[in-house]
Homo-oligomer: A and B are copies of this chain.
Amino acid sequence: MSHPLFETHRKTIESALDATRKRDYWSAYPEIPSGKIYGETAKDDGFNAFKARLNATFELDQPANGTVGAESSPFGLELNIRYPASDLDTLITASRTAQAAWGAAEVEARVGVCLEILHRLNRSSFEIANAVMHTTGQGFMMAFQAGGPHAQDRGLEAVAYAYDEMRRTPTKANWTKRVSKTDSITLEKTYRIVPRGVGVVIGCSTFPTWNGYPGLFASLATGNSVIVKPHPGAILPLAITVSIARDVLRQAGFDPNVVTLAADTSDAPITKELVQRPEVGIIDYTGSSAFGDWIEAHAKHAAVYTEKAGVNSTVIDSIADLKAVTGNLAFSLCLYSGQMCTTPQNIFIPQDGIRVGDEQKSFDEVAGAIVKAVDWLLSDGARAAEVLGAIQNPATVDRIDAARQLGAEILRDSQPVDNEAFPAARVHSPMILKTGAANRELFAKELFGPIAFIVATESTDQSIALSSELAGTCGAITAGVYSTDENVLQKAEQAAAAAGVPLSCNLTGPIYVNQAAAFSDFHVSGANPAGNATLCDSAFIANRFRIVQSRRIVS
């Protein structure tokens, strides 16, 4: 059987497979929002497509009874978009019905459809960038890169792992066993890939596509139908995604209900009911630890993959070039106002200071240099607006206010920041607090948003121990270390491995602890409370389908 979509994108999937095995730099979708790559009108076209979505009903021809939606842009733009509201019984029935032919299709047919969806998502990167920007609060460049090509790369990575996994077992085998000196018996065995059922992808409010695509494409490629349940505050990016997926499915001859949208509002949430439905076989969740823990405990009938939250640490032991380090750290703290699950929260520095080049610098000098680097980064209004983006959730602003009352010394207070293009944008610069290692109750929990602690420790050994301990108890998605001493780096590496947290050593220049590159970086280890899965490995894929065999005597 020929699979034209697979053939069209064969080179892409083969390169992706190769990249997952080499884990060197590779990307299928260009991250530069350039007219030369995406077409000279792509930027305007994308913005106009986005604008046309506003103050309107988002059309999706899935079973629906009414509309729902209450998103608001952190940049102050009126969105006022209504999405189809679907009764769960109807939606799940439609999803299961669509799943039958999808699950029975040949692997290459499904993989081809997934690759075509990704290709079209890539062509819609500008529209999606605007949708991501005006729901999550990311600055445009980040919304384009993380919400567009980087998210598409993560989706492709999941398709590559799924394809690799499904073709690991042949579809047929002949098994011949000698049963006596003269006789043998031959069985023909058929191995069928059987999907688990309905997959549910639960999106988050900050990275709806980047965190949503891996589960979506992993479940889809392995033959499951998928119900996409976006965060009520960030529906649009995933609604566009669902719409594109349905177009491709329909054109390829499949029931478009293989992918459906389950939108809701925070006033009338549907996620708990949805994930407890017995028809649901797979759940991919990104979001708060509290709700993720609830899903892990209550959805025992399904395979559950979670990315929750944690407390990320950076250990500063000794550095060669203070400016290079503080500049890098400042960018990490400011990027998207600390609303990344990869942003460092706690920076541990020995109270007696550290070696900087040939000099000894006091704790306060180093802490002061970090504050100064943040101040410099935000000193240019346009740059500040782009780097900080906006605060997605008003509760994060309340958290900043509350942090002022913690009793920790405020090294740098958070302030509202103007955004020239969007005067109503909710923008607040990072707050940097100082405390001591003894005050664990302050920093040993997640304070989501632009709030960081610089913590004075007795020694680097204590810094490393605290970093590991927090990863073990609160979870951690990233860790950083700065040291000019190879022994310290190795100690930090071993501690991070034991605590199950990916470590970045001595980052300077334009590469940040916050970033995780598809095909190379494993995002979330799955080995501490910050999540039970990684993006992306075989464990993320292999349990989404089962192999059911049949055998017949040939002779």
In angstroms, Cα B546 to Cα A525, docked, is 6
Q: Which residues of the partner chain B approach A549 to less than 8 Å between Cβ atoms?
A: 502-503, 521-522
- Shortest C-beta distance, A179 to chain B (Å), equals 5
Top-10 shortest CB links A-B: A539-B542, A527-B546, A538-B542, A23-B173, A505-B552, A539-B543, A503-B550, A497-B548, A192-B497, A493-B550
Q: Within the complex, which residue of B22, B185, B489, B509 is in contact with A511, where a contact is CB–CB below 8 Å?
A: B185
- Shortest C-beta distance, A81 to chain B (Å), equals 36
Q: Tell me if A440 counts as interface (CB < 8 A to partner B).
A: no
- Shortest C-beta distance, A271 to chain B (Å), equals 19
Q: Tell me if A508 counts as interface (CB < 8 A to partner B).
A: yes
Q: Within the complex, which residue of B194, B296, B511, B542 is in contact with A187, where a contact is CB–CB below 8 Å?
A: B511
Q: Within the complex, which residue of B517, B522, B552 is in contact with A175, where a contact is CB–CB below 8 Å?
A: B517
In angstroms, Cα B269 to Cα A65, docked, is 55
In angstroms, Cα B145 to Cα A179, docked, is 14
Q: Tell me if A534 counts as interface (CB < 8 A to partner B).
A: yes
A226-273 CB contacts (< 8 Å) to partner B: none
Specify the main secondary structure of chain A where it touches its partner: mixed
Q: Tell me if A409 counts as interface (CB < 8 A to partner B).
A: no
Q: Tell me if A21 counts as interface (CB < 8 A to partner B).
A: yes
Q: Which residues of the partner chain B approach A177 to less than 8 Å between Cβ atoms?
A: 25, 511, 517
In angstroms, Cα B169 to Cα A522, docked, is 11
A residues with CB within 8 A of B: 21-25, 165, 168-170, 173-177, 179, 185, 187, 189-192, 194, 196, 296-297, 300, 489, 493, 496-498, 500-511, 517, 520-522, 525-527, 534, 537-539, 542-543, 546-553
What residue of chain B has the Cβ atom nearest to residue A195's Cβ? B527
Q: Within the complex, which residue of B300, B506, B509, B542 is in contact with A542, where a contact is CB–CB below 8 Å?
A: B542
A537 with B542: CB separation less than 8 A: yes
In angstroms, Cα B185 to Cα A511, docked, is 8
Q: Which residues of the partner chain B approach A174 to less than 8 Å between Cβ atoms?
A: 24
In angstroms, Cα B170 to Cα A21, docked, is 7
In angstroms, Cα B507 to Cα A190, docked, is 15
In angstroms, Cα B549 to Cα A505, docked, is 11
In angstroms, Cα B551 to Cα A493, docked, is 9
Q: Which residues of the partner chain B approach A192 to less than 8 Å between Cβ atoms?
A: 497
**CB-CB under 8 A for A190 and B493, given A169-B23, A196-B527:** yes
Q: Which residues of the partner chain B approach A546 to less than 8 Å between Cβ atoms?
A: 500, 525-527, 534, 539
Q: Which of A297, A496, A550 has the most CB of B within 10 A?
A: A550
